[in-house]
């Protein structure tokens, strides 16, 4: 009997220990959450520590800054704030002024110093620029549409519009790095110009003419003339401008050719 009672007591003690252990067990991941499931724990914490709403605006309402880039079509301006670049939309109804006069977004370009005013949505509602009329603007790859040498005027096509400019008497004019005169500029030439207040200060023409030297190993003079030159052990094929006279060279000659826009425009014997 005593043995049976002792066994029962041992079983009761083991059972009590198991219950205590089970009550103290905390599922993995909840040790640092007070033993509560995350959702319940969150509600407790929110009840105990009400959060404060923060309504900090992304940007200030006014910036005196420099334009890092500008896209007229999408009406977006990039500025720099510290080390970060911020892209801002310009409102269709934005108030735009240059030197105190009403202007348009097209009047601005990269590196212009401006004052931008923003609304609560960080959209630009005002742009003010100063002393922009005196800056020098570079226009790349404009097409010459017409030239008036006597009045020193030229019409250039760029940004999908034709614009009349006057050419200053002291303007620098170069073709392939060689100094030239205004009369040397021809219609349909592609030019880079520097302009201030609608006056051209510089005109540069780069035809990108490439020079090749080699031995002529084949010549075809049909409707699509072709020259084949051996250059440094390799055979290279060149299409030829149809009006170019090839009668002065023959297969086996060492020649020099000039290529412009992927066409041979000139050829001579070495």
Q: Are 180 and 173 a contacting pair, CB within 8 Å? A: yes
Name all domains of the chain by residue range, CATH numbers in brackets: 62-129 (2.40.50.320), 137-205 (2.40.50.320), 210-269 (2.30.30)
Which secondary-structure segment (H or E) carries 72? none
Q: What is the pLDDT of residues 211-244, one digit of tens each?
A: 899 999 999 998 899 999 999 999 999 999 999 9
Q: What is the pLDDT of residues 162-213, one digit of tens each?
A: 999 999 999 999 988 889 999 999 888 889 999 988 899 999 997 777 889 9
Strands 210-220 and 113-118: unpaired
Confidence (pTM)? 0.44
């Amino acid at each position: 009997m005593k043995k049976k009672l002792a066994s029962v007591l041992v079983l009761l003690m083991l059972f009590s220990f198991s219950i205590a252990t089970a009550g103290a067990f905390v599922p993995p991941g909840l040790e640092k959450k007070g033993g509560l499931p995350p959702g319940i724990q969150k509600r407790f914490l929110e009840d105990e520590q009400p959060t404060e709403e923060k309504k900090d605006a992304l940007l200030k309402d006014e910036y005196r800054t420099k334009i890092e880039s500008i896209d007229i079509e999408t009406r977006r301006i990039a500025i720099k704030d510290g080390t970060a670049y911020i892209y801002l939309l310009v409102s269709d109804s934005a108030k735009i002024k240059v030197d105190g006069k009403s202007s348009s977004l097209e009047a601005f370009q990269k590196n212009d110093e401006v004052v931008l005013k923003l609304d609560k949505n960080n959209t630009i509602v005002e742009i003010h620029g100063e002393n922009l009329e005196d800056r020098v603007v570079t226009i790349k790859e404009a097409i010459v549409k017409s030239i008036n040498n006597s009045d020193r005027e030229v019409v250039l096509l760029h940004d999908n519009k034709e614009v009349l400019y006057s050419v200053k008497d002291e303007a620098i004019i170069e073709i392939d790095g060689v100094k030239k005169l205004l009369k040397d500029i021809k219609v349909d030439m592609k030019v880079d110009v520097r302009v201030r207040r609608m006056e051209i200060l510089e005109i540069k023409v780069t035809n990108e003419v490439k020079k090749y030297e080699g031995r002529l190993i084949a010549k075809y003079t049909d409707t699509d003339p072709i020259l084949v030159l051996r250059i440094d052990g390799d055979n290279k094929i060149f299409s030829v401008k149809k009006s170019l006279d090839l009668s002065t060279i023959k297969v086996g000659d060492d020649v020099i050719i000039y290529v412009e826009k992927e066409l041979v425009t000139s050829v001579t014997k070495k």
